[in-house]
């Protein structure tokens, strides 16, 4: 009769080990990589904004840095699904003492 409690204990231990291996807590840390370049972006291009779309906000185009070509490349505007209570802040470049840094577009309150 001693083998039955031992089997149950082993089975319970195996179940707890599997549950622990499958549990993934939400990530608490974030990683951000920033790159500074010494070349200023060109002036923004004129873009004709398409007619409004219900439930969407227009994200204007911007110059992005292409590290392989070592030059700025235009990324055209696009529609972003609207978020009630937020306003869309477009992508932009910031000039600092170590060069130019790009900031992605984001939703702000």
The tens place of each residue's pLDDT in the chain, 109 residues long, gives: 567 777 766 666 666 666 555 555 555 555 556 678 999 999 999 999 999 999 999 999 999 999 999 999 999 999 999 999 999 999 999 999 999 999 999 999 9
Beta pairing, strands 106-108 & 78-81: unpaired
The C-alpha atoms of residue 28 and residue 56 are separated, in whole angstroms, by 30
Q: Looking at the whole model, is its pTM more than 0.75?
A: no
DSSP run (H or E) holding 80: strand 78-81
Domain boundaries, the chain: 29-109
């Amino acid at each position: 009769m001693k083998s039955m409690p031992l089997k149950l204990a082993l089975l319970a231990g195996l179940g707890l080990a599997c549950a622990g291996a499958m549990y993934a807590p939400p990530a608490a840390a974030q990683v951000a990589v920033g790159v500074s370049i010494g070349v200023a972006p060109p002036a923004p291009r004129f873009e004709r904004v398409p007619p409004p779309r219900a439930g969407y906000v227009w994200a204007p185009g911007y110059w992005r840095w292409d590290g392989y070509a070592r030059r700025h490349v235009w990324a055209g505007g696009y529609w972003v699904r609207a978020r009630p209570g937020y306003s869309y802040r477009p992508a932009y470049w910031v000039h600092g003492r170590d060069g130019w840094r790009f900031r992605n577009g984001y939703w702000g309150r």
